[in-house]
Amino acid sequence: MKPGMTVERFEAITGRYPRLRVALLGDFCLDRYFDIDPARSEISIETGLPVHNITGVRCLPGAAGTVLNNLVALGVGTIRCLGLRGDDGEGFELHRALAARTGVDLEGFVAIPGRNTFTYTKPLLHRGGQPPEELSRLDLKNYTPTPDAAQAAVIAAMDRVAEGPESADAWMVMDQVDIAETGVVTEKVRERLRRLSAAQPALPIVADSRRGLHGWPAAHWKMNAAELGRLTGRSVGDLPAVVSAARSMAMSLKRPVFITLAEQGIIGATAEGAVAHVPAHPVSGPIDIVGAGDSVSANLTAALAAGADLPEAMQLAMAAAHCVIHQLGTTGTASVEQIRQKVFAS
């Protein structure tokens, strides 16, 4: 497969975005940024330790919420959030941040008493004329298994989306937690996903897991080269090896797979064994790679739901990732117009 994109195809694909319904299942996180002015630093009288004075607080959806931010930036019509939060202050901020986005449906986003809202607190030092410097992050997570009642609530929400009169055109599944069975995408949830995939084999279900996709149901698997090597037990040290492993995996799954390769771009393989490679765009100046993978996930999902073939979806995803990595001090997004400019740059 040779990647390519005409203006007509770009308009046809992205023109469908406002009519799409996308189900976003997984671990939504609160990204809480503390903007710090070093000029206001002081020493604590009580402890003698340095004090970082915060001049601004920004609360944004992260993890699966970063995928959501990118889907919103693309103008996707309806995004059904399926996930969990704590019944705490961080959960309130996360719910409020999600609800402020256009087209977001939170009926399946459930508050669970006694659980922490997954939170990344990111202190940023802002010095004039320099990129923000991130200090040590402060995380809030859960270390015990997700309660059965919470899992049942997620599965019930999945049922409503999968079987309702306005079912989703595509699903994106984001498993972000470090410890298995402590987040949203538990084994019981994956079993429900397995039944959905079996019942609708043509439905785009893009799946990504921080811990790897071993044991996951057949879906449009997305991973990086290191994850591909661990999953297959094969050496994938060069591009031909990645192509061979990706082709074998896709044919075995009977679903497409996507392998991200950082500065080398992305490999995609179809269930029939056809493979495409889309290189990354050259970078210019300082970059921040946080959120680049999530922008790829969002753009692959939206494009496939809108009828793009694999090379077209990958080309849009690479253009979006290039836009995102040049946004410093935040987890960025890319609009259709920004992607258009990158795809058709002379």
Query: For the segment 5-54, what is each residue's pLDDT rounded down to a tens digit?
Result: 899 999 999 999 999 999 999 999 999 999 999 999 999 999 999 999 99
Give the Cα separation of 139 and 90 in Å (integer): 12
- What is d(CA 161, CA 109) in angstroms, rounded to the nearest whole number? 12
Distance between CA 197 and CA 219 in Å, rounded? Answer: 7
Q: Which residues pair with 110 in a beta bridge?
A: 84
* Residue located via tokens 């984001």: 174
Tell me which residue has tokens 């319904």: 21
State whether residue 112 is helix, strand or coil. Answer: strand
Q: Does residue 329 have a pLDDT over 70? A: no
Number of Cβ atoms within 10 Å of the Cβ of 125: 17
DSSP 212: -
pLDDT band at 141 (very low <50, low <70, confident <90, very high): very high
Complete domains list, the chain, with CATH: 7-28+64-118+145-343 (3.40.1190.20)
Q: What is the mean pLDDT of residues 233-252?
A: 94
Amino acid at site 143: Y
Average pLDDT over residues 270-294: 81
d(CA 313, CA 6): 13
pTM of the model: 0.92
Please give the Cα distance from 45 to 271 (Å, whole number).
Answer: 65
Residue 154: the pLDDT is 98
Which tens digits make up the pLDDT trace of 110-134? 999 999 999 999 999 999 888 889 9
Q: Average pLDDT of the chain?
A: 93
Q: Which band of pLDDT confidence, cut at 50, 70 and 90, is reported for residue 290? A: low
Give the pLDDT score at 29: 97
Q: What is the pLDDT of residue 31?
A: 94
Tens digit of each residue's pLDDT (9 = 90 or more) over 246-274: 999 999 999 999 999 988 999 999 999 99
DSSP strands (E only) in the chain: 21-26, 28-36, 42-43, 50-51, 54-63, 78-86, 104-105, 109-112, 119-125, 133-134, 138-140, 170-175, 205-209, 220-224, 257-260, 266-269, 275-278
CA distance 346 to 214: 42
- pLDDT, residue 5, reads 83
Percent pLDDT > 70 in the chain is 95
Output the pLDDT for position 163: 87
The pLDDT of residue 328 is above 60: no
Check whether 191 has a pLDDT greater than 60.
yes
Question: Residue 79 has what pLDDT?
Answer: 98
Residue 77 has pLDDT above 60, yes or no: yes
Q: Which stretches of 214-282 are assigned E, i.e. beta strand?
A: 220-224, 257-260, 266-269, 275-278
Q: Average the pLDDT over each of 49-63, 107-121, 322-336 and give the range with the smallest value.
A: 322-336
Residue 130 confidence (pLDDT): 86
Residue 298 has pLDDT above 90, yes or no: yes
CA atoms of 292 and 321, how far apart (whole Å): 5
Encoding tokens for residue 124?
């940023």
3-state secondary structure (DSSP) of residue 17:
helix
**148-180 per-position pLDDT tens digit:** 999 999 999 999 999 877 899 999 999 999 999
pLDDT bucket at 57, cuts 50 / 70 / 90: very high
Question: So what's the pLDDT on residue 286?
Answer: 64
Between 330 and 208, the more confident residue is: 208
